[in-house]
Structure 1
């Protein structure tokens, strides 16, 4: 039986896979995550997941590889991971009182096939005060998160008014779709 490799340094993605009952190895390679300027904003996450998967495929030719990338789109701009406190503050402020999209791209490949997809969740924030935003950044330091926040953390608890789509997608992995594809297309199931 082929081994499942979760090619992600994200503790949240690894935890979601464990919580769903999957057994897997984690491998992390340094992959260039630059985007081609011709890529449409809504296709960026899936493009990056595919790019990462192909880099891993060259090393792990006979395994099943799962790669993923999550982006946040607010005001038609991709919000990546903030570099510092000021950037995190600008990102969160730009989403305050508005909705934004969280898109996770996933690519799963075996030696004879590759399946990729995107999942979109629309998140509506309450109006956030400067004090709330600064408290969150100081206490949670969201520098490893696209869009500068984690839905499962304090800001998500007090600031998210509603979501349309998968909660887990906002955490970084649409686990419901990953489960279905691994089970039906790759024969991997925790059952």
Structure 2
């Protein structure tokens, strides 16, 4: 089948993921997947982020002509999964942990097509400068950290905290462009940029 015979669904309401998928040139519909994002006991970060992406993709009822793309991002520091903060104290603890350290951002992408699911995890190393308590407080007051894994958005104000990045910038934002294009192509939905 050609890619034009498929309906592509993005299992996310994230404006960042929508922008990134649009950047690849795809036409798609975005539908959020409401799932339980709790970490299971003894679940390691890679297993967790894979499970989240697969569950998001499988939550949407896939018809034979529909491909669903699910994605999940988690921030990991010293093997601790840092989720979205519920208040300043949580954000302060997370940002203090990231301060002056290198952490990993794991982004899983899953493509579901009827009963078939493919998943891939992209790991990026991100290093932060040392943050003062005042910087953390000022950053919290911008509201940017409140809906972000690890309490920061690299594409926003927090970009100034990052001293180096090793890996995929777009994966840290929420959707690895290269790997997403490759995985969709594997399922018969190539990027419009590769069409004759």
Tell me the TM-score normalized by structure 2. Answer: 0.90
Structure 2 contact 126–165 (Cα < 8 Å) conserved: yes
In the alignment, is residue 35 of structure 1 matched against residue 34 of structure 2?
no
- Per-residue deviation, residues 90-149 of structure 1 (Å, max 9, x unmatched): 111111000110001110021253210100001011111112111111114311110000
Q: Tell me the distance in 2 between the aligned counterparts of 1:162 and 1:85.
A: 26
| More displaced stretch, 104-113 vs 94-103 | 104-113
Consecutive unaligned residues in structure 2, runs of 5 or more: none
Whole-angstrom distance in 2 between the partners of 1:187 and 1:172:
20
1:78 CA drift (Å): 0.5
Q: Say how many residue pairs are matched.
A: 188
Q: Find the partner of 1:105 among 108, 118, 136.
A: 108
Q: Does the 8 Å CA contact 2:83/2:150 hold for their aligned counterparts?
A: yes
Which structure 2 residues correspond to residues 36-75 of structure 1 after superposition, within 5 A?
Answer: 36-56=40-60, 59-62=61-64, 63-75=66-78
Aligned Cα RMSD in Å?
A: 1.5
How far apart in 1 are the matches of 2:137 and 2:24?
34
**Within-5 A mapping of 1:166-181:** 166-181=168-183
Give the whole-Å Cα distance in 1 for the aligned partners of 2:145 and 2:103.
Answer: 17
Contact 1:65–1:109 (CA under 8 A) maintained in structure 2: yes
Q: Determine whether 1:138 maps to 2:136.
A: no
The equivalent residue for 1:185 is 187
Separation in structure 2 between the aligned mates of residue 35 and residue 96 of structure 1, nearest angstrom: 24
Deviation at 1:20, TM superposition (A): 1.6
Deviations 1:19-50 (A, max 9, x none): 22111001123222233324322221111111
Structure 1: gaps (5+ residues)? none
